[in-house]
Amino acid sequence: MERAPATAAGRPGDLRNYALVTGAYWADTIADGAIRMLVLFYFYDLGYSPLAVASLFLFYEAFGIVTNLVGGYLAARLGLKATLVGGLGTQIVAVGMLAVAPASWLVVPYVMVAQALSGIAKDLTKMSSKSAVKLVAPADSPGALYRWVAILTGSKNALKGVGFFVGGLLLTVVGFQAAMAVLAGLVATALVVVVALMRGDLNVRDRGARFRHMFSNSRAVNALAAARIFLFAARDVWFVVGLPVYLRTVLGWSFWEVGGFLAVWVIGYGAVQAAAPRLIRRRSAEGHRDPDGRTASWLAFALAVLPAGIALALAADVDPTLALVAGLVAFGVAFALSSAVHSYLILAYAADHKVTMDVGFYYMANAFGRLVGTILSGALYQWQGLEACLWASAAFVVAAGLLSRLLPAEPRGRRGAGSQQLHTPITGA
């Protein structure tokens, strides 16, 4: 086994590598959000149905499931720097393919293949960046892991909102192909910076890692992964296709207005995630404590009320603009807090010696939830409209809350054979 930076208690934070993985994640996130808006609106404007547009993202989500499993294994064998660089390089290839998409009947399978590569790239980058936080956050500072992962996740989602706006704006100003060329340049810059400046491989490379180790035998990780499936299906079942198409066709918004609105929403969502450590504080006899399984459960049940409320408002002929804008603001705050708690808990539960595999398994579940939500977003909207998407969202969030009740009351991570139990969710052992 090749050695990397120590993970013992008292380990100082590695701000340099944290800044680099965060910056790389930012660049890929902006590109990913812009690609989604560009593909969604470009093909819907060409006359594709909501279900057909959703099918363009099918490979994107499906390959995300595979990537998180294989990526976690590869990161254990090759190091997180290798998978991060691989993710950025693959995104450049995907964006380059979209920049020269053929104008013929081949365009749909061609775009699906390009979206598959984009999904692989996004999940390799995300898995690498989030796993790295576990290993570069200072182990001698209480609450550091929670703060660092909240900043990474929150800033990422804020910049995904920027990507939505950039995608809608570029489609309006320069067109589909030229927009893709701009995004390719952005990701290429991030790749060069990471290769030139990053120190080490970020994690311990384990030549003895086996693919079968990807499947977690931790009850906490498995329960959290199952809850994550339903949580993200609940978001994407109305957010991916149903909502933007409704805003464009029913409310008559322009491309840039829809992209701008979704951008503002996601930016605010990301800001709430970044602030989650200050917004969610549990008190105990020892003082402030980090969130646990009970926190994840009650946040999910509170979230379930919101899509149901929006659906009821639309059915009661409340002004749809008012219902959607107000409902989205409330949904964004509650969803951001719930997602931030999940992102912290997976790192708290993950074992240091196999953090990439536990995180990869967890984000495989995340990708599966997005896949289910994406397919149902197009299908339910085409079948029964936005209200059906919202009721499905409420049902999924209730399921996430029920599964979260299986999580440990305290996030005591499983450390594996021969290692100490984690005494706090922050310091490691």
Q: What is the pLDDT of residue 289?
A: 66
Q: Residue 124: which of 191, 189, 57, 55 has the closest Cα?
A: 191
Token pair 């809850």 is found at: 227
Are the beta carbons of 332 and 189 closer than 8 angstroms?
no
Q: How many CB atoms lie within 10 A of CB 366?
A: 26
Lowest mean pLDDT among 18-22, 78-82, 133-137, 320-324: 133-137
Q: How many CB atoms lie within 10 A of CB 283?
A: 8
Beta bridge partners of 126: none
Q: What is the pLDDT of residue 423?
A: 29
Stretch 125-131: mean pLDDT: 80
Q: What is the pLDDT of residue 359?
A: 76
Can you spell out the DSSP letters for 80-131? HHHHHHHHHHHHHHHHHHHHT--SSTTHHHHHHHHHHHHHHHHHHHHHHHHH
The predicted-structure confidence for 57-74, as pLDDT tens digits, reads as follows 878 878 878 887 777 677
Q: For residues 129 and 29, give the distance between their C-alpha atoms in angstroms, rounded to a whole number.
A: 12
Q: What one-letter code names the amino acid at 97?
A: M
Distances (CA, A) of 382 to 61, 238, 304, 305: 20, 12, 23, 24
Can you spell out the DSSP letters for 321-379? HHHHHHHHHHHHHHHHHHHHHHHHHHHHHS-GGGHHHHHHHHHHHHHHHHHHHHHHHHH
The residue ranking higher by pLDDT, 203 or 368, is 368
Stretch 183-190: mean pLDDT: 94
Are the beta carbons of 368 and 63 closer than 8 angstroms?
no
Q: For residues 328 and 305, give the distance between their C-alpha atoms in angstroms, rounded to a whole number.
A: 12
Token pair 């931790």 is found at: 218
% of residues, the chain, pLDDT over 90: 25
| Domains, the chain | 15-404 (1.20.1250.20)
The predicted-structure confidence for 280-308, as pLDDT tens digits, reads as follows 765 433 445 667 788 889 999 999 999 99
Q: How many CB atoms lie within 10 A of CB 285?
A: 5
The three-state DSSP-derived secondary structure of 243-307 is HHHHHHHCCCCCHHHHHHHHHHHHHHHHHHHHCHHHHCCEEECCEEECCCHHHHHHHHHHHHHHH
The predicted-structure confidence for 389-420, as pLDDT tens digits, reads as follows 999 999 999 999 999 998 886 654 433 333 33
Q: What is the pLDDT of residue 420?
A: 32
Beta bridge partners of 288: 283
What's the maximum distance between 2 C-alpha atoms anywhere in the chain? 67
The residue ranking higher by pLDDT, 173 or 414, is 173
Q: What is the pLDDT of residue 356?
A: 67
pTM of the entire predicted model: 0.68
Stretch 325-354: mean pLDDT: 84
Q: Residue 291: which of 304, 282, 283 has the closest Cα?
A: 282
Q: What is the pLDDT of residue 286?
A: 46
Are the beta carbons of 45 and 172 closer than 8 angstroms?
no
Q: What one-letter code names the amino acid at 419?
A: S
Q: What is the pLDDT of residue 105?
A: 58
